[in-house]
Amino acid sequence: MNVLQGLSRIAHRSLRRNLCSSLVRRSSTYESDGKTSVTILNKEADAGLMINSYSQFGFRLNNDMVVIGPMAIFSRTVLSWNVESHEDINDESLSLFCAIEPKIDVLVVGIGDHTITPAFSKKIIDFMKRYKINVEVLGTEQACSTFNFLNAENRVVAAALIPPMTMRVNEDDLMQKQISISKSFEVSDK
């Protein structure tokens, strides 16, 4: 009886392995006429202004413009925003976003790398609610991504961004640094 159970298990495993590998092979081939394509939104002029990168000093946009310090960015316009830090964000500094036409749907506020407190967010949200404008209060990294995403969806969006005081280093940053170091030692055959 044990021999039959052992043979049954071996046959079952073999059948399952063959079935799984054939399914993997079939699903990995692409049998359609079309090809998969990727569009990088930051490279398209029709997508409007987008934020490619940021640093402690400012922001680099997809049109290679560099903005030093805090900025107010809209889908096709960028302005210097006259605040020093998140403590300077008040009704007066936010009034710019209430006065423009067409009225914005969403304001994304990036307060650098400071901790977002409920009281601070509530102050901004209450002011913008008077003008029927939705608002997101985020760290600058998340605010840049949120602005780019909403702008790519053709939403009427604006962002008020303060550069962070400190920068986080991630694995992608380290890999890019290694690539640039290795390219600097390459010898050209020309």
Give the 3-state secondary structure percentages of the chain, helix then strand then coil, rounded to 5. Answer: 45, 20, 35
pLDDT at 34: 59
For residue 22, pLDDT over 60 is answered with no
For residue 47, pLDDT over 70 is answered with no
Residue at 39: amino acid letter: T
d(CA 74, CA 3): 74
d(CA 58, CA 53): 9
Q: How many CB atoms lie within 10 A of CB 148?
A: 22
Residue 28, judged by CB atoms within 10 A of its CB (0-12, 13-18, 19+), counts as: exposed
Give residue 44's pLDDT band: very low, low, confident or very high (50, 70, 90): low
For residue 185, pLDDT over 80 is answered with no
Average pLDDT over residues 167-175: 69
For residue 38, pLDDT over 50 is answered with no
Q: How many CB atoms lie within 10 A of CB 176?
A: 11
Tokens of 56: 């402690």
**Helices 91-99 + 118-130 axis angle, to 10:** 40
Residue 120, judged by CB atoms within 10 A of its CB (0-12, 13-18, 19+), counts as: middle
pTM tops 0.75, yes or no = no
Residue 149, judged by CB atoms within 10 A of its CB (0-12, 13-18, 19+), counts as: middle
pLDDT at 173: 67
pLDDT at 169: 65
pLDDT at 72: 94
d(CA 126, CA 133): 10
* Per-domain boundaries in the chain: 51-166
Euclidean distance between the first and final Cα of the chain, in Å? 75
Q: Mean pLDDT, the chain, as a whole number?
A: 78
Q: What is the pLDDT of residues 96-125, one digit of tens each?
A: 999 988 899 999 999 988 888 888 889 999
Residues contacting residue 175 through CB under 8 Å, at least 6 positions apart? none
What is the percent of the chain with per-residue pLDDT over 90, rounded to a whole number? 38
Q: What is the pLDDT of residues 66-107, one digit of tens each?
A: 999 999 999 999 999 988 888 889 899 899 999 988 899 999
- Residue whose token pair is 């939104």: 41
Top CATH class of 51-166 equals: alpha beta
